[in-house]
Structure 1
Amino acid sequence: MQDPFDILVNGVVYSVFPEEENVYTIFKAGVEFGKIEKDTDNVWLKLNPETETPMFDNDPEVDKIGQAITAYVPEEEDEEEDEEFE
């Protein structure tokens, strides 16, 4: 499973915690924002907090968070660890 990571969207830091496939729990500036799920390449859906079913309202913030998740590239391991093996 992928490790949690942070993304920056419109100057706001979101912490992303991968759950099951294409589902992520999002924290916005340290407060739980909710779960989102990838629907298509450009469309992401926020899940209902009580039922965890997709809410089909068009939310540009959720789409921007999803696009940032898709574009996220994990950081390389620390160079210090690599130097130990040289």
Structure 2
Amino acid sequence: MEELKEPFDILVGGVVYSVFPEEDNVYAIFKAGTEFGKIEKDTENIWLLLDPETETPIFNNNPEVDAIGQAITNYVPEPEDDEDEDFE
């Protein structure tokens, strides 16, 4: 699977989250324009919120984090538009 590099938006429960891929399986998340935090993929269905100060995983069952992670897993990037490369 190709790694996601470009930021993208997802919709979870009627809320828009902006996703900024960072290092391997870590994503910075913004909820409706406000920083939500960083999340990390633990297993296929488990995602963990990272502590904002230490960036260590917080092991608690967080349905919102799992829903965001599932939306990231299901995200399919839109095809590149060739018009973006027109420098005239």
- TM-score, normalised to structure 1, is 0.90
How many aligned residue pairs are there? 82
Q: Secondary structure at the match of 2:48?
A: strand
SS of match in other structure, 2:5: coil
In 1: Cα distance, 2:65 partner to 2:83 partner: 37
Which residue in 2 is equivalent to 1:19?
Answer: 22
2:33 is equivalent to residue 39 of structure 1:
no
**Aligned counterpart for 2:13 among listed residues 10, 13, 18:** 10
Root-mean-square deviation over aligned CA pairs: 1.5
Q: Distance in 2 between matches of 1:20 and 1:29?
A: 23
Question: Which residue in 2 is equivalent to 1:69?
Answer: 72
Following TM superposition, by how much is the alpha carbon of 1:66 offset from its aligned partner in structure 2, in angstroms?
0.1
Q: Which amino acid aligns with 2:63?
A: P
Give the SS at the match of 1:14: strand
Residues 29-84 of structure 1: per-residue CA shift (max 9 Å, x gap)? 00000000000000000000000000001000000000000000100122646xx9
In structure 1, the gaps of 5 or more residues are none
Higher Cα Rg: structure 1 or 2?
1
Identical residues among aligned pairs (%): 76
TM-score (norm 2): 0.88
Partner Cα separation in structure 1 for residue 25 and residue 82 of structure 2: 30
